[in-house]
Amino acid sequence: MTNQLARRTFLASSALSRAAIASAQPAARRPVSLPVPGRLPLLLFSKHLHWADFGTCASVLREIGAEGIDLTVRKNGHIEPERVREDLPRAVEIFHKAGTPVVMITTDIRTADSPFTVPILETAKSLGITHYRWSDFVYDTKKPIPEQLQEFKPQIAKLAKLNAKLGMTAMYHIHSGFNRLGSCVWDLWELLRDEDPNAVSFNYDIGHATVEGGFGGWINTLRLALPYSRGTAVKDFVWAKNSQGQWRPRWRPLGEGMVDFTGYFNLLKNSTVPMPLQLHLEYDELGAAAHGSKQLDMPRERVVAMLKRDMARLREMRAKAGLDT
């Protein structure tokens, strides 16, 4: 039964946003649970471990201090979608025994009718995995945006209905860049505002959000998205010119870029809903591992050392904000 929408007051204690703010908290239609304790369990995105089998992945996760994994169940990922019923149970068993559970999965699912949607979601749910990333929509530059939003809306509603039936939570990862639904956050919020956030929600990426709203915009979008978020991801960047002389984001190790992680974590205090906190590392120094390659182009020890360093920095940020319990 749907509870009435309630209005809650959030207090942002960052230097950029100290004024009292209010947000409409969507009604919770079913409880949110994760297979790990804490409000923000630290996960590594398995894209950076595509060169490793499940056992090696689990070993690396323990070495770097991760509390779980976001496992790719998509084309060219750790698990191919057509193999989900066979391979996901095996992966979950290996990670569970190692104490680094599969907390969420990242998929190619865009709609309820995408290939392998039902087998992926049914298998994940049977294994205790309730959170997954769904694939984003791309705007057609030849059509008006309001018209396209109306076309996306029933597709999202249909996916929300399926997730509610299965007890799954889809998290839409916001990306920066051209023609992507969600890059400005407001458009995606418009599509999700009337849906159950435990069925379809944001996976708020502070790196991409800062690219699109680097001064104060990210504060507004996080305030807007937070009640509708069930996951969040981190990466860091600086602006730099590419070989064509164009200004583009250049991804950097955590804490070495422009992202205001202090302000970000202070705003995250306003949510009491448990959300997997995913570490993404896409900077050049990580080499092939940054891009999900199946083969490393540098010594394994060097890659693991960088993963360990950034995970330690993320753990320190979380602890400093008092969000490590």
Bridge-based pairing state of the strands 42-45 and 277-279: parallel
* Domains of the chain in sequence order: 34-320 (3.20.20.150)
pLDDT of 30: 64
pTM: 0.90
pLDDT of 16: 36
Count other Cβ atoms within 10 Å, centred on residue 215: 9
| Helix or strand run (H / E) with residue 8 | strand 6-11
pLDDT of 25: 46
Q: Which of 105, 147, 97 is nearest to 129 (CA)?
A: 105
Give the list of residues 6+ apart from residue 316 with CB closer than 8 angstroms, or none: none
| Helix or strand run (H / E) with residue 43 | strand 42-45
Low-confidence ranges of the chain (pLDDT < 70): 1-32
pLDDT of 18: 36
